Amino acid sequence: MSQTSCLSVILAAGEGTRMKSAMPKVLHAIAGLPMVAHVVKAAEAAGATGLALVIGHGAEEMRKAAQKFAPKAETFVQEVRLGTAHAVLAAREAISKGYDDILVMFGDTPLIDAGALAAARQKLAEGAAVAVIGFRPPNPTGYGRLIEKGGQLVAIREEKDCSEAEKKIGFCNAGMMAVAGKHALRLLDKVGNDNAKGEFYLTDIVEIAGAEGLDVVATEAEFENALGINNRAELAEAEGIWQARRRREAMLAGVTLIAPETVYFSHDTEIGADTIVEPNVWFGPGVKIATGATIHAFSHLTGATIGENSEVGPFARLRPGADLRKRAKVGNFCEVKQSTVEEGAKVNHLTYIGDARVGAGANIGAGTITCNYDGYSKFFTDIGEGAFIGSNSSLVAPVSIGKGGYIASGSVITESVPDDALAFGRARQKTLPGKGKELRERFASVAAARKKAAE
Ligand code: UD1
Ligand code: MG
């Protein structure tokens, strides 16, 4: 099948009013990726070689977003929404390029899996002209019903056009179908709008193809795969299903999740075997974790790369560009951004490392801050291999600490420190014997005099 060409036509012109959003419905994200981008991924995994995105509402925003998640997609604007067949025909120019298969998909059905699409394409390979993806929703109300006879799909009846008997059918149209490219335009052009809604229904091509004596069949997908999103409650439901699938996949690939239901993945999280993830961890987009790492509880990671056997958290925040090498450690209440923490280096407590390199084996004391920003520009801090930064130090960038450099705690370091040097950047300590007692007595007598005067 991989040799056959396939155009995926993704319908996404609808307004999605029930989302109550300024943003087009299909741009709302699941696992950090617009739902329509999930649909694109599924289409590509099912072998789509061309992508046509039919847009309407929020066309400009959609076009811009599509450049990111589907740069190769052609976009077609459906100016007025006259029904699903009319929407598919908005992509006439792409369809007429002569693809073997046309896969019609909905932009608001993000959990569709490549397997269900491939199964429908397989039916085309076996000679069907149309293969409709069906499913059995717990409540079929509102869906088009699939009417079968002798292994053939003879019609799809929309709820509003159903007889009482037809309403009892539980096998429904999930919305997606595969159509043989050589028949697609002819069938679509025959669709009329003589129905309860006065719309051009894509589903009518089933009867039209049947009347031409063509082979029309239905395949069956899991209900979850065909879940359509219309409001934010359904969006959260789809997110939940997506997360549950991803957690299971991670665990089966050798990742320990102690409380899986509290760990959130992004669409692109990569995580190696023998990594342990404690409860309540958030992986934002762009996280890559090698094998054998430990991510302690309540850590928040985005755009971070974590090396083998390294340790993060608890309560760590790794922001984009955080790059932890083998056996590095970033501990509690630490934030790392756009910085490399080299092999075996430790950033253990209450620290901010931004725009920096922490050399291999260096130790960053509690409360260290890289002062990387002057309100206008960002500057770099370079900390050499094996350096020791005493607690509560501020490293004012641009600045470098040489290999094996030693910074006295409480220092404000504004000038670079050579290899193996010791730097103090704080006022020298003065100790006055007996002065503490003297002060205490003086303050006590002042307070006593004040109390007496008030009586
Ligand atoms: C459609 C199916 C129905 C199926 C159901 C599954 C038709 C006629 N009916 O009904 O059999 O059970 O999906 O969810 O196909 N769209 C456009 N332009 C239009 C009309 C629709 O782009 O002019 C897009 C919508 O944005 C949406 C998709 O097509 O992504 C489906 O349209 P919708 O109105 O939701 O169809 P349903 O009535 O749900
Ligand atoms: Mg719908």
Report pLDDT digits (tens) over 300-359. Answer: 999 999 999 999 999 999 999 999 999 999 999 999 999 999 999 999 999 999 999 999
Q: Is residue 445 part of a domain?
A: no
CA–CA distance, 264 with 337 (Å, rounded to integer): 20
Q: Which of 25, 54, 62, 84 to mutate to test the pocket of ligand 1 (most atoms within 8 A of CB)?
A: 84
Residues 46 and 183 in one domain: yes
Q: Are residues 175 and 286 in the same domain?
A: no
User: Which residue has a Cα nearest atom 26 of ligand 1?
Assistant: 14
10 pocket-lining for ligand 1 (C-beta < 6 Å)? no
Nearest ligand to the C-alpha atom of residue 11? 1
- The answer to whether residues 282 and 215 belong to one domain is no
Q: Are both 170 and 255 inside the same structural domain? A: no
The 3-class SS string of 201-212 reads CHHHHHHHHHHC
Cβ contacts of 86 within 8 Å, gap of 6 or more: 78, 199, 200
Does residue 88 sit in the same domain as residue 146?
A: yes
What average pLDDT score do residues 173-179 get? Answer: 96
Q: Which residues, including other chains, have CB under 8 Å from residue 262's CB and lie 6 or more apart?
A: 279, 280, 281
Percentage of residues in the chain having pLDDT higher than 70: 100
Question: Using a CB cutoff of 8 Å and minimum separation of 24, what contacts does 280-286 make?
Answer: 281/313, 284/32, 285/32, 285/33, 286/320
**What is the CB-side half-sphere exposure of residue 450 using CA atoms within 13 A?**
6
φ/ψ of 361, rounded to 5, equals 70, 0
Same domain? 160 vs 278? no
What value does the mean pLDDT take over residues 188-192? 98
Query: Is residue 201 in contact with ligand 1, taking CB distance under 6 Å?
Result: yes
Ligand 1 in contact with 13 (CB < 6 A)? yes
Boundary residue ending a domain (206, 226, 246): 226
Half-sphere exposure of 19 (CA within 13 A, CB side): 18
Closest Cα to residue 242, out of 63, 28, 64? 28
Is residue 219 within 8 Å of residue 131, measured between CB atoms? yes
Q: Is residue 15 predicted with pLDDT exceeding 90?
A: no
Q: Are residues 38 and 139 in the same domain?
A: yes
Q: What is the DSSP letter of 341?
A: E
- Cα–Cα distance, 186 to 322 (Å, whole number): 55
| Residue ID of nearest Cα to ligand 1 atom 2 | 175
CA of residue 402 to ligand 1 center, whole Å: 64
Cβ contacts of residue 119 below 8 Å, gap of 6+? Answer: 131, 133, 219, 221
In terms of domains, do 119 and 247 share one? no
- Whether residue 433 lies inside any domain: the answer is no
Residues 237 and 257 in one domain: yes
- The whole-model pTM stands at 0.92
Q: Please indicate, yes or no, if residue 430 is contained in any of the structural domains.
A: no
What Cα–Cα distance (Å) separates residue 83 from each residue in 78, 107, 194, 300? 10, 15, 12, 44
Query: What is the C-alpha to C-alpha distance for residues 172 and 12, in angstroms, rounded to an integer?
Result: 21
Q: Is the CB of 156 under 6 A from ligand 1?
A: yes
183 is catalytic: no
Say if residue 2's pLDDT is above 80: no
Last residue of a domain, one of 195, 226, 257: 226
Whole-number Å distance between alpha carbons of 216 and 70:
31
pLDDT tier, 3 (very low <50, low <70, confident <90, very high otherwise): confident
Give residue 79's identity as a one-letter amino acid code. Answer: E
Nearest in space to 195 (alpha carbons), one of 322, 85, 274, 117: 85
For residue 83, give the ligand 1 atom closest to its CA.
Answer: 23
Specify the ligand 1 atom closest to the Cα of 86.
Answer: 23
Q: How is residue 302 written in tokens?
A: 């985005």
What pLDDT digit, counting tens, does each position of 31-57 carry? 999 999 999 999 999 999 999 999 998
Q: How far is the CA of 277 from the centre of ligand 1 (A)?
A: 40
Task: Please report where in the chains the tokens 């400009």 appear, as a residue.
Answer: 60
Query: Any idea what the CATH number is for the domain that residue 86 is in?
Result: 3.90.550.10
Q: Read off the pLDDT of residues 71-87 as tens digits, 9 standing for 90 and up.
A: 999 999 999 999 999 99
Closest Cα to atom 1 of ligand 1: 175
Confidence of residue 144 (pLDDT cuts 50, 70, 90): very high
DSSP 449: H
Q: Is residue 448 part of a domain?
A: no
Residues 254 and 197 in one domain: no
The confidence score (pLDDT) of residue 317 equals 98
The size of the chain, in residues, is 455
Is 428 a member of any domain?
no
> Quick one: which of 314, 325, 321 has its CA closest to 336?
321
State how far the Cα of 33 lies from the Cα of 320, in Å rounded to an integer: 17
Indicate whether 412 belongs to any domain: yes
Last residue of a domain, one of 204, 226, 248: 226
Q: Considering the domain boundaries, does residue 81 fall inside one?
A: yes
Residue 185 region by backbone torsions, left for phi larger than 0, else alpha for psi between -120 and 50, else beta: alpha
* Closest residue by Cα to residue 347 from 322, 375, 373: 322
Query: How many Å apart are CA 448 and CA 394, to the nearest integer?
Result: 42
Ligand nearest to the CA of 226: 1
- Nearby residues of 343 by Cβ (< 8 Å), 6 or more positions away: 307, 325, 326, 327, 328, 360, 361
Overall average pLDDT of the 357-372 stretch? 98
Q: Cα of 75 to ligand 2 centre, how many Å? A: 21
Residue 196 confidence (pLDDT): 87
Average pLDDT over residues 134-145: 94
Q: Is 106 in the pocket of ligand 1 (CB under 6 A)?
A: yes
Residue-wise DSSP of 10-74: EEE----GGG--SS-GGGSEETTEEHHHHHHHHHHHTT--EEEEEEBTBHHHHHHHHHHH-TT-E
| Residue 256 and residue 323 in one domain | yes
Instruction: Please give the C-alpha separations between residue 446 and each of 32, 434, 438, in angstroms, as whole numbers.
Output: 63, 19, 13
- Establish whether residue 86 lines the binding site of ligand 1, counting it when its CB lies within 6 angstroms of any ligand atom: yes
Distance 294 CA to ligand 1 centre (A): 45
Kindly report the CATH number assigned to the domain that includes residue 370: 2.160.10.10
Q: CB of 81 closer than 6 A to ligand 1?
A: yes
125: in domain:
yes
- Residue 1 is predicted with a pLDDT of 47
For the chain, the first-to-last Cα distance in angstroms comes to 99
Mean model confidence pLDDT for the chain: 97
Total number of domains constituting the chain? 2
Q: Is the CB of 57 under 6 A from ligand 1?
A: no
Task: State the pLDDT at residue 46.
Answer: 97
* Domain extent at residue 373: 232-423
pLDDT tens track for 381-410: 999 999 999 999 999 999 999 999 999 999
How many whole angstroms from 207 Cα to the centroid of ligand 2?
21
Query: Mind listing the pLDDT tens digit for each residue in 291-301?
Result: 999 999 999 99
Atom of ligand 1 at shortest range from CA of 108: 30
Summarised one tens digit per residue, pLDDT across range 215-270 is 999 999 999 999 999 999 999 999 999 999 999 999 999 999 999 999 999 999 99
Is residue 276 domain-shared with residue 193, that is, in the same domain?
A: no
CA 439, 440, 446 angle in degrees (round to 5)? 90
